[in-house]
Amino acid sequence: MAYYYKKRYLQQNISINLLLIIANVALFIIFSILLYVNEKAIDFIALKPANIFYDGYLWTFLTSMFMHGNVWHLLVNMLTLMFIGGLVEKIIGYKRYFLFYMISGIFAGVFFVLLSLIFPADFNAYAVGASGAVFGLIGLLMIMTPNLPVYIMFIPIPIKMKYAAPGILIVLWMISVAADIPIGNTAHLGGLIAGLAYGVYLREKYKNKMRYIREYFS
């Protein structure tokens, strides 16, 4: 009986978001060591459309989600995940949250790979990071809590989520074009689309609950 209650307590209080952050940091360190030993290992870790179409490296849809370009890239994504992910997990529950995080991240990768057939510059480019999954969370919050005030980047005033979400995407796109930086905009867009789609699904299936959540976070 004591074991049952202990197990139930752990299940109710475990933070999947925290575990995802720990996994991201741990795998970043492991992958960085592998790349230090052998630079060619990048093909087995990062997502590259050419490797998907020619060599069938399908596992990179997963591994790329837990690898980052550098410490700054990791820090930005994990800080965003800490705040946004924690809120989403509390709203939809840890089981649903974990599944959505993984699915949105993988969908973002698939979206990036498919659109590389339209944007040839991305065909031989590498994509890494949790950004696709993070944008999935942002898209979901855009539907569930559209009027939630949030702070983005260096803007000192809060902006409603429904404006902040597309705003972040546009700013990143402009930065990547102006500075010629391969940020992976199509992957971000794919994650956002996944979040919006899931948000609409939840809004239609749980109308009363979603209405309450929107009003609570307004």
Name 11's Cβ contacts closer than 8 Å, sequence gap at least 6.
none
Alpha carbon 204 to chain centroid, angstroms: 23
Examine the residue annotation and report whether 68 is marked as an active-site residue of this protein: no
Examine the residue annotation and report whether 188 is marked as an active-site residue of this protein: yes
- Smallest CA-to-CA distance from 46 within 30, 31, 29 is with 31
Cα separation, 105 vs 160, in Å, equals 24
Tell me which of 32, 64, 131, 218 is the catalytic residue. 131
Tell me which of 15, 116, 188, 218 is the catalytic residue. 188
Instruction: Give Cα separations from 119 to 112, 129, 175, 184 (angstroms).
Output: 10, 20, 18, 11
Residue 63 has a CB neighbour count (10 Å cut-off) of: 16
Would you please indicate which residues are annotated as catalytic (active-site) residues? 131, 188
